[in-house]
C-alpha cells in the first residue's frame, strides 16, 4: 500500500511524539536519580562538617579537662576542691551542665552541682573506676531516661599527679540541648534531619523532634544492631519518622558516636518536577512547530523538492557533472539549486579549507583552555599565599608576646619549680610554633625566580609542617642528611615535591603495625648533582603500576583519598629545573621516591 508523504509525515510525527514523551519520562527518571545522588553527596559532605564540629568541641573539652586536672588541689583530691576549681566550668556559656571528681576507685564521688537523679545520677561508679583503671579518656553512655526532660554525656579524664600516678577521675557533663540547637541551625533542605547515636543505636541528639527520639533506639534491638564502623558511608532508607531519606554516615571516634545526616528524597522529586515540566513544554512546542512547518513545506514545494532531491542524489553518488539551470517558481528553491551547482564546482577546495580551518580552530581552542587553566591556578596560588602570609603575620605577634612574658616570669626567683617547668614548656612550644609560622610565610610567598637552595633546608622546612602528624601516627622517621651543595631552584616548589613524597610515605606505612612504621629521608651529593630520597617500609607499588606513577590523575589510593596529581606535579617541577625524578623498590619491599638536581 502506497502512503502519501503527508500521511507519512503525520505518522512519523505521532511516533516521534510518543518516543520523545517516553524519552522525557526516562530522562526525568535519570534526572531524579542524579538528584538523589547529588543529595547523597550533600548529606555526606554535611556529615563530615558535623563530625568535624563535634571533634573540635570534644578536643576543646579535653583541653579544658586536662588543664583542670593539673590543678594541685584536684591532684591531692583536697576537700572542697571540685566546687572551688570546677565551678566556673558549669557556667551556661561553657556548655557543661555539671562536673564530677572521683578517686581512683570511684569510692569518693563529688559533684560541683547537685546531680539530677534522672540524668547525672545515673552515672555508674563502676564506669568511673574503669576510666581510672584504663588511664584513657572516655565518653559515658547517654544519661537520662527517654522520658527525662534533659540528657547529657560525661567526658571523663584520668587525674595524674606529678609522679605519674592516676589518683582519680575528672568528668564533665556535656549540655546536649545546646548541641541540638546547633544541629537545628545547620542549613539543610526542609525535612532534613541530623541524628547522633551511640554504639547501642540510642539517639544522643537529633535536630528534629528531639524530645520524642532522644534516649530511644533508632531501630531494632541492641542485639540486632550493626557495629558503628560497619554502617555504610551513605545509604537510602526510611527513617523512624516514616520519611524516606538519603543518609550520609560517619563515626566520631571519641564517642564513639554515629553521625547521620538525612535529606528527604522528596527534595530530589521537587527539584526534578520543574525540569520535567520545562522540557515537556519545550519538546511539545517544538514538535508542534516542526509538524506544522513540515506539512506546509510538503504542501507547497513537494514537486520542487523531488527535483532538488534527485540532484542531491547525483552529488551523493559522486557525480559532479554540471547541472542545467532551471527555475522552480520559488526563489528559495532556485537558490538551493544554484547552491548545489556551486557546491559541485568547489567541493574539493571547500573540504580542504574546512579541514584546515577546523584544525587551526582546535589548536587555538586548546591553547586558550590551557592558558585559562594556568591563569586560574596562578590566581588561586596567589590568593592562598596572601592568606597564609597574613594569618602567619597575625599569629607571630601574640606568639612573641607569649615567649617574652614566659621568659620574664622565669626570671622571678619566687616562681615554684613546677611552674618554671611549665613556663619552659611554653617557651619551647611557642618557639616551635613560631618556626612553623616562618615556614608557612616562606611557603606562601609567590616566588618564581630560582635561587640557591640546600636540600637540608627544604627537608627541615617540611618536617616543621609534618613532624607532629608523624609523631601522632607512631611513625619512626630517620634522617640521613649528607648534602652540602646548593642547587638553583624555587624553594617552595622543592618543598612541595618533598611534601608529596613524605605524605605518600606516611600513607604507605600507617596501615602497618606500629613497630614497622618507618620512613627514612636521605640527602647526598654527587659529582655535579644533589640527590634526595624518601624511603618507606610499606608494600611498595605493584610492578604493573610503576610505569604510570607520574601520569596525571593516576593513583593507587581508594576513591576519594587521592587526586593522582601529586606525583605528576612533582614530575613537572623537577623536569622544569633540569633534574631527574623516579621510583624504585627498596630492599625491604617498600617504595623509594627520589629526585636529583644539578648543583650550581
Least confident of 24-28, 86-90, 187-191, 305-309: 305-309
| 84-127 per-position pLDDT tens digit | 888 887 776 666 778 888 888 888 788 888 888 878 878 888 88
Share the mean pLDDT of the chain: 79
Domain segments of the chain as ranges: 38-267, 341-446, 450-598
Distance CA 189, CA 424 (A): 51
Name every residue whose Cβ is closer than 8 Å to that of residue 292 and which is 6 or more positions away in sequence: none
Predicted pLDDT at 94: 67
From the list 583, 528, 590, 524, the residue with the least C-alpha distance to 551 is 583
Residue 35: predicted pLDDT: 87
More reliable by pLDDT, 265 or 239: 265
List, in sequence order, every residue forming a beta bridge with 520; answer none if it has no partner.
478, 535
pLDDT at 553: 67
pLDDT at 384 over 90: no
SS (H, E, C) 255-316: CCEEEEEEEEHHHHHHHHHHHHHHHHHHHHHHHHHHHHHHHHHHHHHHHHHHHHHHHHHHHH
Q: Return the percentage of the chain with pLDDT > 70, whole number.
A: 80
Sign of the torsion formed by the C-alpha atoms of 130, 136, 137 and 142:
negative
Length of the chain: 600
What is the spatial distance between Cα 573 and Cα 549, in angstroms, rounded to a whole number? 15
Number of C-beta neighbours around residue 276 at 10 A: 17
Instruction: Return the pLDDT at 534.
Output: 94
> Among 206-210, 324-328, 368-372, which range has the highest average pLDDT?
206-210
Q: What distance in Å separates the CA atoms of residue 220 and residue 428, rounded to the nearest whole number?
A: 53
Contact 175, 96 (CB under 8 A): yes
> What pLDDT is attached to residue 458?
92
- Structure confidence by residue, pLDDT tens digits, 390-399: 666 567 668 7
Give phi and psi for 32, each to the nearest 5. -60, -45
Question: Does residue 147 register a pLDDT over 50?
Answer: yes
**DSSP class of residue 599?**
B
Instruction: Output the furthest CA–CA distance in the chain (Å, rounded).
Output: 118
Per-residue pLDDT at 478: 92
CATH of domain 341-446: 1.10.287
Q: How, if at all, do strands 96-103 and 166-175 pair? A: antiparallel
**53 vs 322, which has greater pLDDT?**
53
Q: Dump pLDDT digits (tens) for 161-181.
A: 888 888 889 888 887 777 777
Which residue stretches of 445-490 are H helix? 455-472
What residues contact 314, with CB distance under 8 A and at least 6 apart? 321, 323
What mean pLDDT is predicted for residues 266-289? Answer: 84
Q: In what order do the strands lie in the sheet with 529-536?
A: 476-481, 518-525, 529-536, 591-598, 580-585
Question: CA 81, 83, 86: angle at the middle one, nearest 5?
Answer: 90
Of 210 and 448, which is predicted with more confidence?
Answer: 210
The Cα-based distances of 220 to 196, 200, 223, 224, 471 in angstroms read 16, 10, 8, 6, 42
- Lowest-confidence pick of 113-122, 442-451, 521-530: 442-451
pLDDT of residue 178: 73
Sort strands 257-264 and 580-585 into parallel, antiparallel or unpaired: unpaired
Residue 230's φ and ψ, nearest 5 degrees, are -95, -5
Pull the grid cell for residue 204: 544522643
- What mean pLDDT comes out for the span 457-471? 87
Strands of 138-139's sheet in order across? 109-111, 96-103, 166-175, 152-160, 138-139
Residue 180 is predicted with a pLDDT of 78
Q: Which of 175, 166, 93 is nearest to 136 (CA)?
A: 166
Q: All 3 cell numbers of residue 156?
A: 571523663
Strand-strand pairing, 166-175 and 152-160: antiparallel
Which CATH fold would you assign to the domain 38-267?
Beta-Lactamase (3.30.450)
Q: Choose the most confident range, by mean pLDDT, from 77-91, 364-378, 393-407, 555-569.
A: 77-91
**How sure is the predictor about 592, in pLDDT bands with cuts at 50, 70 and 90?**
very high
Lowest-pLDDT choice from 80-94, 127-141, 210-224: 210-224
Q: Is the model's pLDDT at 337 over the cut of 90?
A: no
- Tens-place pLDDT, residues 348-374: 566 567 778 888 888 888 777 655 554
Fold of 450-598: Heat Shock Protein 90 (3.30.565)
Mean pLDDT of 375-397: 58
Please identify which residue in the block is written with the cell numbers 609542617.
465
Ramachandran sector of residue 555 (left: φ over 0; alpha: ψ -120 to 50; beta: rest):
beta
Amino acid at each position: 500500500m502506497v502512503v502519501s508523504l503527508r500521511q507519512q509525515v503525520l505518522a512519523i510525527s505521532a511516533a516521534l511524539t510518543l518516543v520523545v514523551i517516553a524519552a522525557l519520562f526516562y530522562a526525568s527518571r535519570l534526572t531524579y536519580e542524579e538528584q538523589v545522588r547529588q543529595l547523597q553527596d550533600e548529606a555526606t559532605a554535611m556529615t563530615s562538617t558535623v563530625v568535624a564540629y563535634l571533634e573540635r568541641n570534644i578536643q576543646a573539652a579535653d583541653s579544658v579537662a586536662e588543664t583542670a586536672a593539673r590543678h594541685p588541689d584536684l591532684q591531692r583530691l583536697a576537700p572542697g576542691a571540685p566546687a572551688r576549681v570546677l565551678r566556673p566550668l558549669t557556667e551556661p556559656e561553657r556548655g557543661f551542665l555539671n562536673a564530677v571528681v572521683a578517686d581512683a576507685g570511684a569510692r569518693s564521688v563529688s559533684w560541683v552541682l547537685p546531680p539530677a537523679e534522672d540524668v547525672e545520677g545515673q552515672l555508674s561508679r563502676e564506669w568511673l573506676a574503669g576510666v581510672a583503671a584504663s588511664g584513657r579518656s572516655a565518653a559515658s553512655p547517654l544519661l537520662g531516661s527517654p522520658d527525662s526532660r534533659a540528657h547529657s554525656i560525661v567526658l571523663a579524664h584520668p587525674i595524674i599527679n606529678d609522679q605519674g600516678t592516676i589518683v582519680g577521675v575528672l568528668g564533665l557533663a556535656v549540655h546536649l540541648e545546646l548541641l541540638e540547637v546547633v544541629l537545628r541551625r545547620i542549613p539543610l533542605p526542609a525535612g532534613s534531619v541530623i541524628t547522633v547515636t551511640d554504639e547501642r543505636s540510642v539517639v544522643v541528639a537529633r535536630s528534629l523532634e528531639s524530645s520524642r527520639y532522644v534516649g530511644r533506639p533508632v531501630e531494632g534491638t541492641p542485639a540486632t544492631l550493626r557495629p558503628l564502623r560497619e554502617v555504610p558511608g551513605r545509604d537510602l532508607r526510611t527513617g523512624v519518622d516514616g520519611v524516606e531519606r538519603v543518609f550520609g554516615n560517619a563515626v566520631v571516634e571519641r564517642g564513639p558516636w554515629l553521625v547521620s545526616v538525612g535529606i528527604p528524597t522528596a527534595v530530589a522529586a521537587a527539584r526534578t518536577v520543574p525540569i520535567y515540566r520545562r522540557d515537556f513544554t519545550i519538546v511539545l512546542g517544538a514538535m508542534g512547530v516542526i509538524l506544522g512547518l513540515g506539512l506546509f513545506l510538503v504542501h507547497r514545494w513537494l514537486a520542487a523538492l523531488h527535483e532538488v532531491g534527485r540532484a542531491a542524489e547525483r552529488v551523493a553518488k559522486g557525480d559532479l557533472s554540471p547541472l542545467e539551470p532551471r527555475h522552480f517558481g520559488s526563489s528559495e528553491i532556485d537558490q538551493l539549486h544554484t547552491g548545489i551547482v556551486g557546491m559541485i564546482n568547489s567541493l574539493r577546495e571547500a573540504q580542504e579549507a574546512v579541514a584546515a580551518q577546523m584544525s587551526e580552530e582546535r589548536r587555538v581552542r586548546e591553547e586558550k583552555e590551557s592558558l585559562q587553566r594556568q591563569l586560574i591556578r596562578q590566581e588561586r596560588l596567589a590568593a592562598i599565599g596572601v592568606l597564609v602570609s597574613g594569618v602567619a603575620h597575625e599569629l607571630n605577634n601574640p606568639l612573641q608576646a607569649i615567649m617574652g612574658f614566659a621568659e620574664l616570669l622565669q626570671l622571678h626567683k619566687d616562681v615554684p619549680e613546677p611552674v618554671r617547668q611549665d613556663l619552659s614548656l611554653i617557651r619551647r612550644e611557642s618557639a616551635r610554633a613560631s618556626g612553623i609560622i616562618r615556614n608557612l610565610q616562606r611557603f606562601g610567598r609567590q616566588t618564581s625566580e630560582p635561587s640557591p637552595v640546600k636540600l637540608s633546608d627544604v627537608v627541615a622546612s617540611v618536617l616543621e609542617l609534618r613532624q607532629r602528624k608523624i609523631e601522632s601516627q607512631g611513625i619512626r622517621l630517620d634522617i640521613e642528611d649528607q648534602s652540602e651543595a646548593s642547587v638553583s631552584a624555587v624553594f617552595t616548589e622543592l618543598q612541595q615535591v618533598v611534601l608529596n613524597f613524605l605524605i605518600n610515605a606516611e600513607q604507605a606505612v600507617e596501615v602497618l603495625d606500629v613497630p614497622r612504621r618507618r620512613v627514612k629521608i636521605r640527602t647526598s651529593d654527587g659529582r655535579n648533582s644533589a640527590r634526595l630520597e624518601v624511603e618507606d617500609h610499606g608494600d611498595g607499588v605493584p610492578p604493573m603500576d610503576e610505569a604510570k606513577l607520574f601520569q596525571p590523575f593516576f593513583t593507587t589510593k581508594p576513591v576519594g583519598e587521592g587526586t593522582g596529581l601529586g606525583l605528576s606535579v612533582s614530575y613537572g617541577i623537577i623536569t622544569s629545573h633540569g633534574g631527574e625524578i623516579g621510583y624504585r623498590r627498596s630492599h625491604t619491599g617498600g617504595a623509594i621516591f627520589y629526585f636529583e638536581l644539578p648543583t650550581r
